[in-house]
Chain A
Amino acid sequence: AQTVTQSQPEMSVQEAETVTLSCTYDTSENNYYLFWYKQPPSRQMILVIRQEAYKQQNATENRFSVNFQKAAKSFSLKISDSQLGDTAMYFCAFMIEWAGKSTFGDGTTLTVKP
């Protein structure tokens, strides 16, 4: 079975600063995907960034980037130039390529302070 661990229940950052959210996972699979989702107060799940396990290059999406360390089974999210709208709960998720269903971490509540 796959497990996803987010060790930071809550974090805060000043507006315009950079923050890194941690995520580790455990699996014996070789072909899988990792995701970071944002869940604002509306509770709509929003995909932030995706990483294919077979790609060595770290994924980036504008202000969001990941540090994917496959051997260490680590997948952290860096948010640069934090904005007030980034305040949300962030979930790290793991998906086996063929299965389609995702396993989620417990989430990190991020507060961006003005």
Chain B
Amino acid sequence: GAVVSQHPSWVICKSGTSVKIECRSLDFQATTMFWYRQFPKQSLMLMATSNEGSKATYEQGVEKDKFLINHASLTLSTLTVTSAHPEDSSFYICSARDGFQTSTEAFFGQGTRLTVV
């Protein structure tokens, strides 16, 4: 089956520093990847959609300069949280869709728990 690997699973960083989260599709080519944010016991909120080789499309209210998304290849998308602050602490989840197949659903990574201290 389709596997999406997200790394790291958890990370702690100091305020003001940047942290990068990777999302890899291991056995398919992900033409589109999605980045979500989830607070405890709440729903997944879509942050942005990234298409390979083009700029990401951000949802309303999401700061583009703070959450940098790069989708440079068909198997890798990265989310960089720049100048992180404690309020950025959250659970970040990526999902990837195989645009070359008829499969409709997106496959999820295992998520990254970010704690900013």
**Chain A residues in the interface with B (C-beta under 8 A):** 33, 35, 42-45, 47, 50, 52, 89, 91, 95, 97, 100-107, 109
Contact = CB atoms under 8 A, between A and B. Distances in A.
B44 interface: yes
A107 B104 contact: no
Given A43-B111, A100-B106, A102-B95, 9 more contacts: A33-B105, A43-B93, A44-B110, A45-B44, A89-B41, A91-B44, A95-B104, A101-B49, A106-B42
Interface string B74-117: 00000000000000000101010101000011101011000000
Interface of B: 32, 34, 38, 41-44, 46, 49, 91, 93, 95, 97, 99, 104-106, 108, 110-111
A101 B93 CA distance: 13
Contact of B43 (A42, A44, A50, A107): A107
